[in-house]
Amino acid sequence: MGGCNSGMKNRFPFNRVKDIHGDGISPHGKYSYGYASSQGRREHMEDVFEARTGTVSGQLVGFFSVYDGHGGKRAAEYLKDHLYNIIVGHPSFFPDTRTALEEAYNKMDEELLSTNIVQDGSTASTVVIFQNRFFVAHIGDSRVVTSHRNKPGGSIAKALTRDHRPDLTEERQRIEAAGGQVTFKGTWRINDKIAISRSFGDRHLKQFVIPDPDIVEEAIDESIEFIIIASDGLWDTLSNQEAVEIVKSKEDDMKEAALLLVKHAFDYGSYDNITCVVVRFYH
């Protein structure tokens, strides 16, 4: 099982932070993964991630997730401590994974709010792998992108998530129907406060900011090369296709690929925390 604290070094050109990076490989050797996380230019680190494999009811399960906190780090850390167990412990996890993920996300939000000590919020982009498929559950503006072979030696990026922004038509209609306001002051916000329309936590805006995830299911076939899961600190400065090309340049080493993604995002001017997990499949 890969851990999130192995391989710590200060290799990034950032002055104030201890950056985390490392890698691992699934026990059956069908995929490897690398991760990198940096505070970047922010005064505080609010990104959290998970990269693990485990056995659930005798089946190997890979679990990879990025949580981007806002207003603090407590919600993101709470998700890391509890979301995996809620998902894999759902009675429908194997027979109906889509329903399990939807219900687990809502249960997680209820549990988080019931603590009465967490006032902040967090996005979540989660990839669950087992057998010959994977599922993506997503809320917020972190993002999951896959690389697909489209010609000999070539690859094309495919976004499996959409950024949950208040200005999206269906999101705006839902928010305004609940009595909220969507306004633009440099970026679209709900009641001049939050720039995402779905998240965990955020109890002061809970009637507008929901935890209902978008769910995507994908078969793992030979066309899929790898998955990138990253916080918006990466996507603020890199396009989906640029991120895929960067990973391709280091595709034999997922830790180096993740490090290079973070470095490029920083060099291109990201002002946010930057975190990514890359999972490469072997066919």
pLDDT per residue over 76-91, tens digit each? Answer: 999 999 999 999 999 9
The domain in which residue 194 lies consists of 166-198
Q: What's the rounded Cα separation, in Å, for the pair 146 and 144?
A: 7
Instruction: Choose the final residue of a domain: 198, 217, 251.
Output: 198
Average pLDDT, the chain: 91
Q: Which residue has the higher pLDDT, 186 or 79?
A: 79
Q: What local confidence, expressed as pLDDT, does residue 10 receive?
A: 40
Beta strands in 140-213 (DSSP E): 143-151, 154-159, 182-184, 188-190, 200-201
- Would you say residue 12 lies in a domain? no
Q: Mean pLDDT over residues 70-81, rounded?
A: 94
Q: What is the mean pLDDT of residues 261-277?
A: 96
Statement to judge: residues 193 and 220 lie in one domain: no
Mean pLDDT value of segment 227-252: 96
Model confidence at 18, pLDDT cuts 50, 70, 90, reads: low
The yes-or-no verdict on residue 11 having pLDDT over 60 is: no
Segment 129-136 shows an average pLDDT of 96
pLDDT at 12 over 80: no
Tell me how far apart the alpha carbons of residues 66 and 87 are, in angstroms, rounded to a whole number. 15
185 confidence band (pLDDT: 50, 70, 90): confident
Contact (CB, 8 A) for 85 and 210: no
Nearest to 33 by CA among 73, 66, 11: 66
CB 66 within 8 A of CB 47: yes
Give the three-class secondary structure for 276: strand
Q: Count of CB atoms within 10 A of residue 57's CB?
A: 8
Task: Please state, in angstroms and rounded to a whole number, the distance separating the CA atoms of residues 92 and 107.
Answer: 14
pLDDT at residue 110 is higher than 90: yes
Instruction: Read off φ and ψ for residue 61, nearest 5 degrees.
Output: -125, 130
The verdict on 128 and 158 lying in the same domain is: yes
Predicted confidence at residue 197, as pLDDT, reads 95
pLDDT exceeds cutoff 50 at 9: no
Specify if 260 maps to a domain. Answer: yes
pTM of the model: 0.91
Of 197, 233, 238, nearest to 214 (Cα)? 197
How many domains does the structure of the chain reveal? 2
| pLDDT beyond 70 at 195 | yes
Signed CA dihedral, 213, 219, 223, 224: sign only: positive
Longest pairwise C-alpha distance within the chain = 54
Give 1's pLDDT tier (boundaries 50, 70, 90). very low
Angle of helix 74-88 relative to helix 97-114, nearest 10 degrees? 140
- Lowest-confidence range among 16-25, 136-145, 204-213, 260-269? 16-25
Q: Decide if pLDDT at 3 tops 80.
A: no
Q: Is residue 10 part of a domain?
A: no
Domain end position, chosen among 178, 198, 218:
198
Give the per-residue pLDDT at 7.
35
Q: Answer yes or no: do 160 and 183 share one domain.
A: no
